[in-house]
Each structure stands twice: as structure tokens, then as C-alpha cells.
Structure 1
Amino acid sequence: MGGGMTAEVGTDAAGGAPSGSRGGSRTRRGRRWIERWEPEDAEFWAETGERVARRNLVFSVLSEHIGFSIWSLWSVMVLFMGPEYGVDPAGKFFLVAVPTLVGGVLRVPYTFAVARFGGRNWTVCSALLLLVPTGAAALVMTPGTSYTTFLVVAALTGVGGGNFASSMTNINSFYPLRKKGWALGLNAGGGNIGVPVIQLLGLLVIGTAGAAQPRIVLGVYVPLIVAAAVLAALFMDNLAPVTNDTGAVVEAAKERHTWVMALLYVGTFGSFIGYSFAFGLVLQSQFARTPLQAASLTFIGPLLGSLVRPVGGRLADRFGGARITLGNFAAMGAATGVVIHAAAQRSPAEFLVGFVALFVLAGLGNGSTYKMIPGIFQAQALRRGLAGEAAAAYGRRLSGAAMGLIGAVGALGGLGINLAFRQSFLETGSGTPAFVAFLACYVVCGVVTWAVYLRPAARGRAVTAPEAGEGAARPVYAEV
């Protein structure tokens, strides 16, 4: 796993040139290291690149899927916590908020871990780390355990949230720009499905074994975690050309688009993960549903939101991420209005329709916003006068660095949602004030998307770059 090792000359894992034959590449020891990786080269991509990238994507999705399940573990565990646990609704909202905080913070170091240890190596390590929160939860899930202990164990599940950042950074490096929207959407969507899957398992356990058997859920995941680690070790690869670049991180942090996209990602992914963790508790607190009744509905929104994430990426590939994102925020505002009206009318059916619509729209927005990130930094490369592989390399360098920062801030949006629900129910006994705040957030995100990426005046002032072989120029953010 050492990043400073030097590889012997041999055939690289992608079936290309000898691993020590290309000047400038940092060689490493081990047959699972790929020394040459040029996805923007059409011939390389067609011959070997696409096949290798697809294989790594499949096992990346599996590991990230289980990571999301463990990250959202306490959205299920709280449904097993009856009155005998002595934890009120406000305490449960805070309990499910803690993993989002830890997961958001861990996304930054997890992003760097890919280049430091290799995508395959870190996928194996990060998967095995999931055994810690899973085993700890099995030990403490019993009435009489202190609330502080529950908080500490819930915090441990944050490692599952970190998996997303390393997985997305890794897959971003494998795919060419023209396919990133679909690939990143598929990777993230497959991971996001881990949320409804563990919630469905919780429903199955509550409906069959009863609410006193939370350890069954945990027992199911231990062998799955081990399987994900073993499969990653057997079938994934490390990309030697991917290296940590502190200069890129500093440059990305100074770039205003990084923070604009972080805000937009708070609105999309922050909504998805925050609502996923809180949905069951909201149903119990807003409409007095039993744990079984809540569990029978909790999985629907996260499942649909996960399934449509690749669709958001594909739509962004075709029509531009900014256009899809703007329309998405407008629709999220409308769906929030439906939820607010349903809460006022005490209509569970209308509330469920509006809330599920929010999940679907958040999923679409997750795909479109993540597509925007590499496109924005590719546009930055054009603005700097770069072209061809030089522009592609600049875009990969900056977008990879920015993704960790954007992902971390976006995940913290989930923390904000759960804290808003906690305060709203604590003070008013209703989630309506929280939803009003979320509506205002979607309006702000929509305005920012339009002003920065779609406003005609802004596009007119954008620095233009000549097309290859043509004298004409186009606004560099037109197709972001």
C-alpha cells in the first residue's frame, strides 16, 4: 500500500505499455497498479479503458452501497428504540444527525486516501472499517444503555459516509469527461440505494421478529462487509497516475465555483441524506405512526431517489447540468409547498406524496450537480487557454480536489436538516417550521444556479474559448 514504492518494469494492469516505459509516470510495485491511464484517448478507451473502468465501477458501487447502509444504520436503529430506551423524539433526531456530521468531516481525508493508498487498496480498507460501528452497535443496542454511549456509537457510523467521497474520487479518475455524468450518477445512485435497503431490512425484522431484535439487522451486514472487501481486493485496480496534489486542493479551495457547487450540493445531497435519516422519525412524530407503520413507508423515498440519480447524471450529460439543476430546485420548492400544505391539513397521504417527490427530485439533483463539477473545471481549463489532453488533465486535477470539499459540505446539509427537525418538533411539535426553512433554501439555490451558470448577462461576459480547428468561440460555462 505504500505510495513511495517503485515498480519493476512489466505489463500494466490495463494491458497497455510496460509499466516502467512511460516517462513521467510514478511506478509502483504490485500487479493491481495501472501505470498508464488516458481515458480521454479514444483508442485507449475503446481497447482497454472502458472494460477496466466498468469492472472497477461495479465493485466500487458494491462497497459504497454497504457504506451508505452503515452510515444510515441509526435511522433504522431508532425505530427499534421504544419507550423502554428512554430517548424522546428530539433525542432521536440528534442521534441520527451525529453520523452525518462525522461522515461529512471524514469525506475530506477519504478523498486524499485514494491517491495516497490507491483506489483498490483504500476500498478494501474503508470497507473493513465498517465492521467497527456495526459490531459496536450490536453491543450497545439494549435498554439501559446511556444516551452518551448511543451517541458515540452512532458517530462511528460516519465512516460509511466517508466511503462516498473516496469512491466518487476514484471513479471520477477512471472515466472520460463525456461519460462522467452517467458513471458518477451510477456509482452514487448504487451507493445511495444502501439507505432504503437497510431500511427495508429493518422493516422485515420489525414485521417478523419484532421491535426487540435490532441485532438481526447488524448480523446480516457483517458478512456483507467482509464480502465487499474481498471482492474489491480481487477485482479492483489502483491508478498510479492519480496522486495527491496539495496545490490542487488549495487552488480548488480558492476557486469560487467550488463553494457555489458546495451550496448547490447542500440543497440536493444534503436534502437526500437528511430526509433519509429523518423520514421514519418525522412520520412517527408528525402523524403518530408506530415503528412498524413508519418502517413500512420509510424506504420508499430513499429507494426512488437513489434509482433516479443516474438519470439526473444522464440528463445533465445531454442537456447541461445547470439547466437540469435549476429546474430541479424549482420543483423541489413546489414539492416542499405540498408538504407544508399537507402538514397544515393533517393529510398523511398528501404528506407522503410530497415527501417522496422531494426524495426523487433530490436524487435527480444529486446526479446533475455532480456532473457540473468536472464540466466547470474543464471550462476553467479552456478559459486558461488549454486544449486537448492538457485541458482534460487540468479538469481532472481540479475536479478531483474539489469533489472532496463539495461532498463534505453537502453531507453537512444532512446534519442541518436533522437539527432543524429536532428544533422544530421540540418547540412546536410539528415539522412545518423546518420545511418552511428548507423551502427558502431551495429558492436561494435556484437563484444562485441561474445567476452563476445560466443568466444571459453572465454568459455574455464569460471568457470564451475557441473550438478546436475553428475560429468561433463559445461561452465556457454554456454546457456545464
Structure 2
Amino acid sequence: MSTVTRPDVSAGQGLNLALATWVSAINFWAWNMIGPLSTTYAGDMELSSSEASVLVATPILVGALGRIAVGPLTDRFGGRTMFIAVTLASIIPVLAVGIAGEAGSYPLLVVFGFFLGIAGTVFAVGIPFSNHWYEPSRRGFATGVFGMGMVGTALSAFFTPRFVNWFGLLPTHVIIAAALGVTALLCVFVMRDSPAFTPNHDAVVPKLKAAAKLPVTWEMSFLYAVVFGGFVAFSNYLPTYIKTIYGFSAVDAGARTAAFALAAVLARPVGGMLADRMAPKYVVLASFAGTAVMAAVAILQPPPDLWSALTFITLALFLGVGTGGVFAWVSRRAPANSVGSVTGIVSAAGGLGGYFPPLVMGSTYDSVDNDYTIGLALLVITALIAFGYTALKLHTQEPAPKENTP
């Protein structure tokens, strides 16, 4: 077996990682355009709790499933090409959602929200892109920093309702569409793939089948579905939760959701860096334990504003650390020539993990007692199951991924 010498990739690491993180952030903002306005839509269109939940969850579903294809396409065409493609493809859905919202059409919002999910596939581009720019010992850091692009959900939660108040609904969507266009141009003129990137021209379907046969794919998919799914679910549904339970306005609920998302974003690189220095298993175990505890505290409906804020921000910190820890683990275990395929499936699982909770929260909401006990209790149980699975079934030490292709 021959050993392939890794090219020098030090020049351009920081710039390309920073740009990739921004591309992720603006696409995550676009992906989350409906969530911060869901309470406004629900009030204006007299939507039921379940109808509002479907509206929030639809972009999450498409953003999740689309990653399955986008991951291996990144292995073939490279991150730069795919970043440009995803960003450009998200512009029309953003504008269409704004038009549907302006028209007050629930069916059109759901349909166009479906295509808005394209923006959420960006995550499956950035993980292999970041991996190629950094050596294995620093990939937890690299994927953690790229994962900070999740701050787009915080930006959307905080600024989208304010933009609507300042500029109007449709102009707000035009602003984000323009930002996507400028970002795509930045990628064209500034971004480049790592010298270590080697295109994998194998057919996509066989690559996915091969990735699906790897135990690491499904083990990490389960873990990521819990931590990233929890983050996505709360980032999208928390405005509805906060307004329903505590009676805050859409703008105030958005600000508090932004604090939740920002905490998770800042915690993600911490999880990645911790996983570079210790076994990722222990980082993930701490995440699941903390998630279970804080979800149990949330069931008690801590009073606003200090105690409720501490509860959900601490929950966000544990979820963020877990997302960084899981993908650091993926980077260690996935074969180098299949990172995109494995990442596509794992990140899709994370997105799917965020699709179902809003539907569950909406369908199990107790309007008589005004609580979400059942939905939060299910999160506690899921986190405990994940903790037990990780502790008992997954090994601490994993073989390093091979850097050469067969």
C-alpha cells in the first residue's frame, strides 16, 4: 500500500474557512426565514398549532434530505463549486417565500418553504471542504469553526422580525436574496478548494451505498440526530414556544431565540476542540447528560426572564458542544475519500432530527394547561437513550481515517 504525501495547505486555510463559515451563516439565515415569523403568520392566517408546526418543519425536512445528495456531489465537484450552486439556488425560494407571505397564502408558504430547504443543504458542503483544508489532528477545530455558521439561525431569529418592522415583509426577503447573491460572487472570486482535495468521480449512488454500509455512518447519524436535531428544532420552534408559554411579542421571542442559537454556535467549536484533545466519546456523553437535565428543567416552566433564559441557554450550550463533538468523531472515523458521502448522510440525519420535534411539540401541546410537557419529556428520554448507547456500544479509540484512496 502506497502512502500519499499530503500537500502543504497552510496558505489560505484561515481565509477559506472564514469564508465557508460566512456562506453557511447566510444560507442558514435563509433556511430559517419562516421560523421567526411563524407566530406572525399563525396570527394573521389563523393557523392551528399543527398547521404552524408544518410551516416551520417543511424547510427542515428538505434541508435534511437534500444533504444526502449534496455530500457526495461535494466529493466530486469540490466545496467551492457546491457552495456557489447551493447559494445561488436558494435565492429564488427566499423571494418566493416573501411573495407568499405578502399574499397571506398558507399553501404557497408551505410549497415555497419546501424549496427554501435547499439553503439548509450547505452544511454537507462545508464539512468535507473544511476537512480537506486541515490535517486530521485539527479537524475538530476546523469543523467546529465552520459549524459556527449556525449563527445564521441566530441572526435570522434576531433580525428578521426587526427587518420586517423596519422595511416590510417582501423587502426583507429581497435583502437576504441580495446577500446570497453577493456571497456567491465572493465564492467565485475569492474561495478555492484545498490543494489536498482530489475529486472522486465515482457514481453518486454507489458511493452512497458504500457509505451506508459503514457502521460509523449510522452510529454517528443517530448521535447527530439528537444533538443537531435538537438545535434545529429549538431554533425554529422556540419563537412559538416562548410566545405561547411566556406571552412575549414576536420581536422579543426572536431576540431570546437568537440568544439560544448564539450559545449553541459558540459552543460548537469548543466541542470540536475538546474532541481534538480527548476522546470525542466523552464530549458527546457530557452533551447528552446535560441535554437530558436541562430539558427536564424546562418541563417545570422556569419563570421569565432570568431563569427561563438560563435554562434554554444552558441547554443550547450542551447541544452545541455535542454537535462539535460528533463531527470531530466523524472526521476521525470516516475514510478520507468518503467524507462527503458519510457527512451527507449524517448531516441529513441531524436535519431529520430537527424535523419531527416541531411537529411533536405542536401536536402534543396542552392548550388547557398551556404546556409542552410531553414534547420536552420525549427529549429527555431520547437524550438518555443516546447517552446509554454511546456509553455502552461505542468505542473510545477509533482507527484514524486513511488518507489514500484504494
Would the TM-score normalized by the shorter structure come out above 0.5? yes
8 Å CA contact 1:203–1:296 kept in 2: the answer is no
8 Å CA contact 2:144–2:272 kept in 1: the answer is yes
Match of 1:279 among 222, 229, 238: 238
> Judging changes above 3 Å, is the alpha-carbon distance between structure 1 residues 348 and 433 closer, same or farther for their aligned structure 2 residues?
farther
8 Å CA contact 1:453–1:477 kept in 2: the answer is no
Match of 2:190 among 209, 232, 235: 235
Q: Flag the structure with larger Rg.
A: 1
> Judging changes above 3 Å, is the alpha-carbon distance between structure 1 residues 125 and 301 closer, same or farther for their aligned structure 2 residues?
same
Decide which structure has greater helix share: 2
1:206-285 matches, within 5 Å, as 209=166, 213-238=168-193, 241-245=198-202, 247-285=206-244
RMSD: 2.4
CA–CA distance in structure 1, aligned partners of residues 55 and 82 of structure 2: 28
5+ residue gaps, structure 2, are: 401-406
Match of 1:194 among 152, 163, 168: 152
> Judging changes above 3 Å, is the alpha-carbon distance between structure 1 residues 249 and 140 closer, same or farther for their aligned structure 2 residues?
closer
2:403 equivalent in structure 1:
none
1:444-459 matches, within 5 Å, as 444-454=385-395
1:69 equivalent in structure 2:
29
Classify the secondary structure of the residue corresponding to 1:227. helix
CA–CA distance in structure 2, aligned partners of residues 203 and 362 of structure 1: 25
Q: Offset at 1:203?
A: 4.1
2:364 maps to a residue whose letter is: S
> Judging changes above 3 Å, is the alpha-carbon distance between structure 1 residues 85 and 449 closer, same or farther for their aligned structure 2 residues?
same
1:24-63 matches, within 5 Å, as 41=6, 44-45=7-8, 49-63=9-23
CA–CA distance in structure 2, aligned partners of residues 476 and 200 of structure 1: 40
Greater Cα shift, 293-302 or 50-59: 50-59
1:422 equivalent in structure 2:
362
> Judging changes above 3 Å, is the alpha-carbon distance between structure 1 residues 82 and 314 closer, same or farther for their aligned structure 2 residues?
same
2:138 equivalent in structure 1:
179
CA–CA distance in structure 2, aligned partners of residues 225 and 347 of structure 1: 36
Q: Offset at 1:477?
A: 6.2
Cα deviations by residue, 1:14-63 (Å, 9 ceiling, x for unpaired): xxxxxxxxxx9xxxxxxxxxxxxx7x74xx43xxx122333322221121
Could you state the TM-score of these two structures normalised by the residue count of structure 1?
A: 0.77
Q: Offset at 1:254?
A: 1.4
Cα deviations by residue, 1:349-392 (Å, 9 ceiling, x for unpaired): 43332122111111111000000012224xxxxxxxxxxxxxxx
Greater Cα shift, 420-429 or 178-187: 420-429
2:331 equivalent in structure 1:
374
Matched, 1:128 2:88: yes
Matched, 1:409 2:369: no
8 Å CA contact 1:140–1:150 kept in 2: the answer is yes
2:163 equivalent in structure 1:
205
Q: Offset at 1:126?
A: 1.2
1:224 maps to a residue whose letter is: A
CA–CA distance in structure 1, aligned partners of residues 69 and 19 of structure 2: 21
1:220 maps to a residue whose letter is: I
Q: Offset at 1:205?
A: 3.0
Matched, 1:164 2:123: yes
Match of 2:259 among 278, 293, 300: 300
Classify the secondary structure of the residue corresponding to 1:237. coil
Matched, 1:351 2:292: no
CA–CA distance in structure 1, aligned partners of residues 399 and 353 of structure 2: 26
CA–CA distance in structure 2, aligned partners of residues 451 and 164 of structure 1: 29
1:432 maps to a residue whose letter is: T
Greater Cα shift, 412-421 or 292-301: 292-301
> Judging changes above 3 Å, is the alpha-carbon distance between structure 1 residues 94 and 349 closer, same or farther for their aligned structure 2 residues?
farther
CA–CA distance in structure 1, aligned partners of residues 127 and 121 of structure 2: 10
CA–CA distance in structure 2, aligned partners of residues 83 and 418 of structure 1: 18
Match of 1:362 among 319, 337, 346: 319
Q: Offset at 1:176?
A: 1.4
Matched, 1:436 2:394: no
Q: Offset at 1:348?
A: 5.6
Q: Which has the higher contact order (CA 8 A, sep 6+)?
A: 2
Could you state the TM-score of these two structures normalised by the residue count of structure 2?
A: 0.90
